[in-house]
Structure 1
Amino acid sequence: MNLVQRVEHWGDTHHPQWLDIVRILLGAFLCYKGVDFLMNMGVMLGLITNRMSFGAFTEMLMGNYVSFAQILGGILLILGVLTRFACLLNIPVLLGAVFFVNTSLYRPFSESLLAVLVLLLLILFLVVGNGPVQLLKFRSDEKTDTL
C-alpha cells in the first residue's frame, strides 16, 4: 500500500460528521469568491499587475484561472465529489493570495488571515477527503434499493 492509499484510508476512517458541514461552507465561500472575482475582474487584474509583471495574455489567463478554479472547486466541495482534486485546484490560488496579494497581515480589515484560514482548510480536506456526506454515496444507495 503506497503513501497515497494510506492517506486516503486514514482520511476515510477518521472523518467526523461536523467536518462535512465545514467542507460545504468552504465550498459555498469559494463559489462566492469566484463569482465576486468574475464581477470585479478589473480589480483583480490590477492586483496581479501591481504585484507581478507578466504579459497581458498571462494576466488574463491567471485571472480566469482564479475564477474558474474557485467556482468549480467550490461546487465540487459542496457536492463532495473529487474533493482532493478541488483542493489541488485551489491551493495555488490561495498560495498566491497569501504570499503575493495580501501581504499585510496586521492591517485592519485585512483578508490575509481569511486567506490563510481557507488555505489551511484546503490542505485539511486534501488529506481527509470527502467524508460520509457526499453526492456519490447517496446515488449509490439509490441503486442498491432498487435491486
Structure 2
Amino acid sequence: MGTLQQIHNWSLTHHPRWLVVIRVALGLCLFIKGYSFMINSAELDLLLQNSRLAAQNDAISIFVTWAHLLGGVMIIVGLFTRWAVALQIPILLGALIFITTQQGIFAAGSMFPLTIVTFLLLLFFLVEGGGPISLDHFFKHHQA
C-alpha cells in the first residue's frame, strides 16, 4: 500500500464531522475573495502593479480570481478537494509574500492573520482531503 493510500485511509477513519464545517467555511472564504477580486479588480491590479509581476498583471489577476472562485466551490462541495487545495497554496504563498513586503505584517488593515489561517487550513486539507461528507467520498463509493 502506497504512502498516499495510507494517508487517505487514515484521514477517512480519523475525520470528525465538524471538519466539514471548517472545509465549507474555507471554501466560502476563498469564493468570497475571488468574487471580491472580480467586482473590485482595481484592488488586485494595484497590489500587482508595484511588484515584479507587473508585466503579467492582467493574466495573474484573471487566474487568481477564477482559481479562487472555482477552487472555493470545489472545496465547499468536496470535489477534487486535494487538487483544489493544491492550486490555492501557491496563490496564498504569493499573497503572504506581497503582504509582508508591501504592507507589513502588523500594519493597520493588514490581511496577514487571515491569510496565515487560510494557508494553514489549506495545508491541513491537503493532507486530510474532503472527508466522508464530500463528493470525492461519494463518487469513490458509488461507482457504476
TM superposition score category, shorter chain reference: 0.7 to 0.9
TM-score by length of 1: 0.86
Cα distance, 1:73–1:53 mapped onto 2, change above 3 Å: closer
Equivalences for residues 122-137 of structure 1 within 5 A: 122-135=122-135, 137=137
* CA-to-aligned-CA distance 1:68-113 (integer Å, 9 cap, x gap): 1111111011111111011011111100111123441112332111
Q: Which residue is 1:75 aligned to? A: 73
Runs (4+) of structure 1 exceeding 3 A deviation are 135-144
Query: How much does 1:143 deviate?
Result: 9.1
CA distance in structure 1 between the aligned counterparts of 2:134 and 2:110, rounded to whole angstroms: 33
Contact 2:92/2:115 (<8 A) preserved: yes
The aligned length equals: 142
Unaligned runs of 5+ in 1: none
Residue aligning to 2:44: 44
Corresponding letter in the other structure for 2:29: F
Show CA shifts across 1:95-132 (max 9, x none). Answer: 01111234411123321110010000001000000112
Identity within the alignment, %: 36
Select the structure of larger CA radius of gyration: 1
Contact 1:29 1:74 in 2 (8 A): yes
- Match status 1:29 vs 2:29: yes
* Cα-Cα RMSD: 2.2
Shift of residue 31, structure 1, vs aligned partner: 0.6
Could you say if the C-alpha distance between residues 143 and 123 of structure 1 is closer, same or farther in structure 2, counting changes exceeding 3 Å? closer
